[in-house]
Amino acid sequence: MDVRLLLENTLPGLGYELVDFELMNGGGFRVFIDKPQGITVEDCVQVSNHLTRLFTVENVDYSRLEVSSPGLDRPLKKEADFIRFAGQLAIVRTRLPIEQQKRFVGRLAGVEDGAVMLEIDGRTVAIPLSNIDKARLEPEF
């Protein structure tokens, strides 16, 4: 059973987005969920209870299940993430250097032609989605 596919098909029906999914040592799962209004402890409990029942019905073998918010430094994984969080500060690491660097900190300015637009010190850098290794929101206080 493909647990990621099961989560991607189940969570939207409950009103949540699957942000990330990790396998833990010892056969456990860590699931990060989000929704536009943010995640509460009650959301995590509701999803955990639902997934526990679903995994039982689907015969998914696991030793531990953790359901969590992605946090303030939420990872950006999909093109839709870069669009949704336009205007927010982000750290983007690339696989290959662009302008002799691999780490960029700037404001997300959307996506154009398959590239994330990042505003850095008054200029815009286009980073192809295919070249992004990791990207996260950078919390501002």
Question: Given the DSSP bridges, would you call strands 28-34 and 65-68 parallel, antiparallel or unpaired?
Answer: parallel
Expressed as residue numbers, the domain containing 57 is: 3-68
| E-assigned strand segments in the chain | 17-24, 28-34, 65-68, 89-98, 101-112, 115-120, 123-128, 132-137
Q: Is residue 31 part of a domain?
A: yes
Closest by Cα among 17, 28, 16, 22 to 4: 22
- The per-residue pLDDT for 67 is 97
pLDDT in tens, 59-105: 999 999 999 999 999 999 999 999 999 999 999 999 999 999 999 99
d(CA 137, CA 133): 14
End of a domain among 68, 88, 112? 68
User: What CATH number has the domain bearing residue 22?
Assistant: 3.30.300
User: What CATH number has the domain bearing residue 95?
Assistant: 2.30.30.180
Q: Residue 90: is it exposed, middle or buried by C-beta count within 10 angstroms (0-12/13-18/19+)?
A: buried
pLDDT in tens, 96-137: 999 999 999 999 999 999 999 999 999 999 999 999 999 999
pLDDT in tens, 5-55: 999 999 999 999 999 999 999 889 999 999 999 999 999 999 999 999 999
| E-assigned strand segments in 25-81 | 28-34, 65-68
- The per-residue pLDDT for 35 is 94
pTM: 0.84
d(CA 111, CA 101): 20
How many domains does the chain divide into?
Answer: 2
pLDDT greater than 90 at residue 1: no
